[in-house]
Amino acid sequence: MEEKEIIKQVANLFHRYGIKSVTMDDVAHELGISKKTLYGIFSDKSDLVSKTIKIQMEYQKEKFIEATQNVNNAMDEMFGIFKHYLQLLKDHFPSFEFDLKKYYPEIFHNVCIEKREIIQENIKNNLIRGKKEGFYRKELNEEVITKLNILRVESLADSKLFTQEELLSPQFGKEMFLYHLYGILSQKGIDYLNKNMDQFDISK
């Protein structure tokens, strides 16, 4: 059995039961292999968790690229990002994230850094593109807007102003995206958004 296939099955176990509850014995039993074989591939559970996270991050990057490639403009790119965000909500497992943060803080920290870099790059590139195309305000400062967005996203969970259910709701995501867009759109962008508001229809 290849490493990627093992990790795929392990990820399903982690998502269903949480990371802490799943032992290396559980993994070996689920895969139908011996612990000796398992430890021949992964040095320990921490190594298994780390590689599982790495594969998941790569998968999410691929899906993000699929959602935003071959689009006509920066606005359509934002629509694609929103749809990708909704899919991430469907695939989110709170217990998995909780265990990762509590029992594997170093891995969790590295994941947060990587996510920040991805978000920062994509927001900034989208802002630059949108300004060039005339959909975003020409005077906006992409550096400041990018950092403000990262601050907003990272501080939401710690603010205690919203419940976990609210943060993970599609309606919240919709309002968050529209809040961002209305703060950066030019009149051309507003007109384009009004004509394509169905892209934010969360009932689909």
Residue-wise pLDDT tens digits, 14-46: 999 999 999 999 999 999 999 999 999 999 999
Q: Is residue 5 part of a domain?
A: no
Q: What is the total count of domains within the chain?
A: 1
Tell me the pLDDT band of 4, cut-offs 50, 70 and 90.
Answer: confident
DSSP tag of 199: G
CA dist 101 and 108 (Å) reads 5
| Token pair recorded at residue 63 | 């899906």
Q: Which tens digit of pLDDT belongs to each residue from 76-118?
A: 999 999 999 999 998 888 889 899 999 999 999 999 999 899 9
Q: Which tens digit of pLDDT belongs to each residue from 150-191?
A: 999 889 878 889 998 999 999 999 999 999 999 999 999 999
The lowest-confidence range among 55-64, 129-138, 187-196 is 55-64
Q: Is residue 44 part of a domain?
A: no
- Amino acid of residue 182: Y
| Token pair recorded at residue 81 | 């990002």
Q: Is residue 12 part of a domain?
A: no
DSSP tag of 136: B
CA dist 22 and 18 (Å) reads 7
Phi, psi of 52 (to 5 degrees): -65, -45
Distance from the Cα of residue 166 to its chain's centroid: 17
**Residues 168, 89 contacting (CB under 8 angstroms):** yes
Q: Which tens digit of pLDDT belongs to each residue from 51-69?
A: 999 999 998 899 889 989 9
Q: Is residue 37 part of a domain?
A: no
The reported pTM is 0.89
Q: Is residue 147 part of a domain?
A: yes
Residue whose token pair is 């803080």: 105
Q: Is residue 154 part of a domain?
A: yes
The confidence score (pLDDT) of residue 159 equals: 85
CA atoms within 13 A on the CB side of 195: 8
Question: Across residues 140-153, what is the average pLDDT?
Answer: 94
**Residues 99, 19 contacting (CB under 8 angstroms):** yes
Q: Is residue 26 part of a domain?
A: no
State the residue range of the domain holding 116: 49-200
Q: Which CATH number characterizes residue 145's domain?
A: 1.10.357.10
CA dist 100 and 93 (Å) reads 11
CA dist 184 and 30 (Å) reads 50
Say which residues have a Cβ less than 8 Å from residue 2's Cβ, sequence separation at least 6.
Answer: none
Q: State whether residue 185 is helix, strand or coil.
A: strand
Which parts of 58-130 are beta strand (E)?
none
Q: Is residue 126 part of a domain?
A: yes
